[in-house]
Amino acid sequence: MNTLADLEKPPFYTALYLSAPQGSDEGLHSEAISIMLSLAMMLTGFVGFRDDDAAENRRVRIVFWKDYHTMKAWEKTARGLLPHRVQLKDCLASKGCMWQWLDDGAETSMTPMINAA
């Protein structure tokens, strides 16, 4: 069963790269992702997450948000908590809003409404 189908409106999402960009510190990147996910789970607008494949053989964790304002508040707070030398733009694969629903558990089609900087 798809838990996202219980929402009244399509959720917003943020896709986070689970691996560091080539040439970056893997440990610092991992720490940054852990901080970002921990913070997300503390916010009332957090819906859940799932893992998926991204371009360049990188894995992403897709974080789902109930609304745009919660997603932006999380992003602003997370930016200030990241370890030195880790940029938010290196952690974000994409963000946007899901416009299509899955009530049968099939694969989602996500069209980014907003692209990461």
- Is residue 9 over pLDDT 70? yes
- How far is 24 from 22, CA to CA, in rounded Å? 6
| Domain map (residue ranges) of the chain | 3-97
Q: Please report the sign of the dihedral spanned by the C-alpha atoms of residue 28, residue 19, residue 95, residue 108.
A: negative
pLDDT digits (tens, 9 = 90+) for 16-65: 999 888 888 899 999 999 999 999 999 999 999 999 988 777 899 999 99
| Mean pLDDT across 3-17 | 78
CATH topology of domain 3-97: Alpha-Beta Plaits (3.30.70)
Q: Are 27 and 102 a contacting pair, CB within 8 Å?
A: no
Stretch 83-99: mean pLDDT, rounded? 87
Task: Please give the full DSSP string across 32-58, using - where no structure is assigned.
Answer: HHHHHHHHHHHSTTEEEEEEEE-GGG-
Give the percent of the chain with pLDDT over 90.
49
